[in-house]
Structure 1
Amino acid sequence: MVKAINMALIEHALQGFTIPPQPQVLRHIQQQLSAAEPDLNRIAALIALDIGTAGFTLKVVNSAFFGLRTKITSVEQACRYLGLNRVVSLARSVLLRFALEDGRQDAFSQRLWNNALHTANLAMALAKQLNFNQQFQDDCYSLGLFRNAGMALISQQSNQYPAIMQRGLMENFSSSAIEEQFFQTSHEVLGYLVAESWGLTDTLCNVVAYHHSPTLLLATDNIDEHQRFAVLKIAEYLSGESRQLFGINVDPEWQNQQTAILEVLELEPLQLPELAELMHRQDLQTIYSV
């Protein structure tokens, strides 16, 4: 495990920012999941308390990605078909978006959440394709959603955030360096705080905290973090994150770190187009399809 986050940095990062608390409904759901015998009907009822959350969850479940032969019409049915943990992950993604978007309809917010959902689906599909278990797949989905939550918090404070990031990235500065210079914090640290507040495991919180610091994260001996991180970074690359969010076609971080990232999963660069093709068959677009 990477070394603990410096609490002085945390206090510094929080100046001017408010971390949205975990919604009460999610706490109740997690209590049910922790029970010896979780009550599926109770969990479904909790998700359905908010019609927006339930509706969007069903919309995602019925998307082409899951390839269901029959349409799912209730949260309870979704829980039975896909499993409780996966449906709760979907519900969490909706609640996270509502909590961080805070009614904003600007173009960057829309791009941010579209990319979060896209990357989450890619990460989950990649984990499945690489024969990782269901828990690993769900973890990768959560990482795709939470990794850039800090960007939403920073952009709430400054509508110049996308333009500043675009300029800095095109000049080959790291995202953390740009954010520290202009906003005195980084989306990695803020994302870590959101993930921790929302009850993600230490492993996932650490990956969120260091997802732009591969040298630090891969220097440890924690294979759980390494593998989840590697799947996340491949999903980010395949999603074309830099282009989707900031309109740039270069990805210096991937170019510099791809060898180390691929080695974690014993993959070769030539296998990426093959993985992309498998994603396309699941209606998931990648940089190889544009």
Structure 2
Amino acid sequence: MEKAEKLIKSIGIPAQPKLVLDIDDELKQAEPDIGKITGLISQDPALTAKIIRVVNSPFFGARKQVDSVKQALTILGLTHFKNVVIASALSEALKLDQRHSINEAFWNHSILAARIAAFIARRLFRNPAMENEAYIAGLFHDCAVPLLVQKFPDYLPLAPAALNQQPAADTLQAEERAYHTNHCAVGYLVAKSWHLPAAVCQAILFHHSPDVDIHADLPTRKLSACLLLAEHIDHSYAAMLSGAPADASPEAQGLAKALFELDLAPEDLRDLKEDAYEMLG
């Protein structure tokens, strides 16, 4: 972690925009002022444009073209709108150029993992706070990848494996050999700097580890298990769309402890996958 901290200082952690903090404070009010929220966002034309682009992307499934922040708020509701704001702010902070193939791969993977993690949390816990944390964990879990690509051009060959978890242990070892840290540790530091919940930061730090039982805190174990399953379902979904071979058993994929933590049997995972595929369209 000390080496990760030194590295992140040389890269520069993208700061969470104060505007996002102000919007979050307003959304936490008993009766959020929609006019105040739209007024805050209008102060940042770049963020406004990014929010509208994100809402209109296939990932959020807006049923009609969204042309304004107020319209986005009306269609999505406060919770989902907050997630769009954070996603948009992260994209802007990381300076993602979607013309770069690895940035596009990162963004697609992160948004899908976030949506699937939130879907799992909603299905299993029926707790809005847990659902929101699951979304944020999915969104941020690989945020170090584009930062490392920007800092080290020779990191680019490792980036697809970091995003696709194929295989995780080899990827992390290669990162450690080359940079004396890994994208999990760097992502953890970014999450901490954005003042994300402690459980989210821990889930990001250990998101390539199948040993979810290492966490003493129950909510962190549940969140880590959600993120692990979300990545698995994301990769299964991509394989299904591409016609690739079916996944191996949950045990072979290192999911046994996550399933145990969430009180799911292998057949429950199959049902969860099918419902997630339907949700994703």
TM-score normalised by the chain length of structure 1? 0.79
CA-to-aligned-CA distance 1:241-273 (integer Å, 9 cap, x gap): 8979xx998899983521001111111222323
2:187 corresponds to which of 191, 199, 207: 191
Greater Cα shift, 164-173 or 108-117: 164-173
CA-to-aligned-CA distance 1:212-267 (integer Å, 9 cap, x gap): 2343x5223311111111111111111118979xx998899983521001111111
Greater Cα shift, 205-214 or 67-76: 67-76
What is the aligned partner in structure 1 of residue 266 from structure 2? 269
2:117 corresponds to which of 112, 123, 143: 123
What is the aligned partner in structure 2 of residue 230 from structure 1? 225
What is the aligned partner in structure 1 of residue 142 from structure 2? 148
Conserved 8 A contact 2:3-2:180: no
What is the aligned partner in structure 1 of residue 216 from structure 2? 221
Instruction: Give the CA deviation at 1:114.
Output: 1.1
What is the aligned partner in structure 2 of residue 288 from structure 1? none
- The separation in 2 between residues aligned to 1:241 and 1:146, in whole angstroms, is 20
Conserved 8 A contact 2:111-2:138: yes
Alignment of 1:207-218 (within 5 A): 207-215=203-211, 217-218=212-213
Q: Does 1:178 align with 2:174?
A: yes
- The separation in 2 between residues aligned to 1:103 and 1:33, in whole angstroms, is 29
Conserved 8 A contact 1:123-1:144: yes
- The separation in 2 between residues aligned to 1:79 and 1:182, in whole angstroms, is 44
- The separation in 2 between residues aligned to 1:277 and 1:214, in whole angstroms, is 22
- How many equivalent pairs are there? 275
Instruction: Give the CA deviation at 1:178.
Output: 1.7
Q: Does 1:38 align with 2:32?
A: yes
Conserved 8 A contact 1:65-1:282: no
- The separation in 1 between residues aligned to 2:191 and 2:227, in whole angstroms, is 15
**Equivalent position amino acid for 2:146 in 1:** A
What is the aligned partner in structure 1 of residue 280 from structure 2? 283
Conserved 8 A contact 2:5-2:189: no
- CA gap of 1:172–1:87, structure 2 versus 1, over 3 A, is closer
- The separation in 2 between residues aligned to 1:185 and 1:251, in whole angstroms, is 30
Instruction: Give the CA deviation at 1:199.
Output: 2.2
Greater Cα shift, 63-72 or 135-144: 63-72
What is the aligned partner in structure 1 of residue 252 from structure 2? 255
2:78 corresponds to which of 59, 84, 91: 84
Instruction: Give the CA deviation at 1:36.
Output: 5.9
- The separation in 2 between residues aligned to 1:167 and 1:82, in whole angstroms, is 33
Instruction: Give the CA deviation at 1:186.
Output: 1.2
Q: Does 1:98 align with 2:92?
A: yes
Instruction: Give the CA deviation at 1:59.
Output: 5.0
2:153 corresponds to which of 152, 159, 178: 159
What is the aligned partner in structure 2 of residue 3 from structure 1? none
**Equivalent position amino acid for 2:265 in 1:** E
- The separation in 2 between residues aligned to 1:189 and 1:208, in whole angstroms, is 8
Conserved 8 A contact 1:48-1:54: yes
RMSD: 3.4
What is the aligned partner in structure 2 of residue 49 from structure 1? 43
Instruction: Give the CA deviation at 1:150.
Output: 0.8
- The separation in 1 between residues aligned to 2:84 and 2:128, in whole angstroms, is 14
Q: Give the 3-state SS of the residue equivalent to 2:126 in structure 1.
A: coil
1 or 2 for the larger relative contact order (CA 8 Å, sep ≥6)?
A: 1
CA-to-aligned-CA distance 1:193-216 (integer Å, 9 cap, x gap): 21122221111111112212343x
Kindly, what percent of the aligned residue pairs are identical? 27
- The separation in 2 between residues aligned to 1:61 and 1:171, in whole angstroms, is 33
Instruction: Give the CA deviation at 1:70.
Output: 6.3
Q: Runs of 5+ in structure 1 lacking a partner?
A: 1-5, 285-290
